[in-house]
Amino acid sequence: ITAGARSLFCSQQQKQMVGVILATASYDHTIRLWEAPTGICYRTIQYQDSQVNCLCTTPDRQCLVAGGFSHIRLFDLNSKNPQAVGSFDGHTSNITSVGYQRDGRWMYSGSEDCTIRVWDARTFTVQRELKHNAAVNTVALHPNEREFFSGDQQGNLRVWDINGNECTIEMVPDGETPIRSVAINTEGTMAVATNNKGKCFVWSWESRLLDDGYQYDDT
């Protein structure tokens, strides 16, 4: 990696010679695939559009999804084809988050253009658009696949009803300090968020007391 690393992702491949791979992306416009047990880079993909901000794999582990500036590209992990095999186009700024619904029918993305988008994974078309009032830095899909949890550059945390296309809860845990990352546990009972001051906030999702969380301060 010849420039600042921007994103990484670990996946287990079931078909190819490599069992577990680590995918990294960087400001140097490359995606690199590594053999996790040996640390050997066995493939480099050139991402011509921009730096790469985020990565994920499709649920079947056959393709790697990369988000850069305004474009999301899909690359085949099981071939040496250097070209993208699909593209999600429509954002107008940096893509900051990408992820998939568990069956792979749709994917989602967050962007600094202040939107979260839901895409049809087969047709690469936008199905829904949710709007923040600031750049979206991070998005997590709840295990129930009916809600998003997102954070933005102005310090706002939001819970979204995907089918209703609306924000159901909004919080500002630490003023206008940008939210850097959000996550939800696999059981869907707890949510966490971190901000640029190094603070971590934890809430109970089940009780819906998302405005009554614990705070961990590492400043």
Q: State the pLDDT at residue 4.
A: 45
The pLDDT value given to residue 147: 97
**pLDDT at residue number 159:** 96
Tokens representing residue 184 in the block: 């939800």
Q: CA–CA separation, 21 vs 139, rounded Å?
A: 24
Q: Cα(70)–Cα(111) distance, rounded to whole angstroms?
A: 8
Q: Which residues pair with 33 in a beta bridge?
A: 23, 43
CA angle (44, 49, 55) in 5-degree steps: 55
- Check residue 128 and report its DSSP letter: E
Residue-level pLDDT at 206: 78
pLDDT score at 54: 95
Predicted pLDDT of residue 79: 87
Alpha-carbon gap, residue 121 to 215, rounded angstroms:
37
How high is the pLDDT of residue 37? Answer: 86
157 class by beta-carbon count within 10 Å (0-12 exposed, 13-18 middle, 19+ buried): buried
pLDDT tens across the length of the chain (219 residues)? 444 445 555 555 544 445 678 999 988 999 999 998 888 999 999 998 899 999 999 999 999 999 999 999 999 998 888 899 999 999 999 999 999 999 999 999 999 999 999 999 999 999 999 999 999 999 999 999 999 999 999 999 999 999 999 999 999 999 999 999 999 999 999 999 999 999 999 998 877 655 555 666 655
Q: How high is the pLDDT of residue 21?
A: 82
**C-alpha span between 75 and 21 (Å, rounded):** 15
Name the nearest CA neighbour of 107 among 67, 80, 78: 67
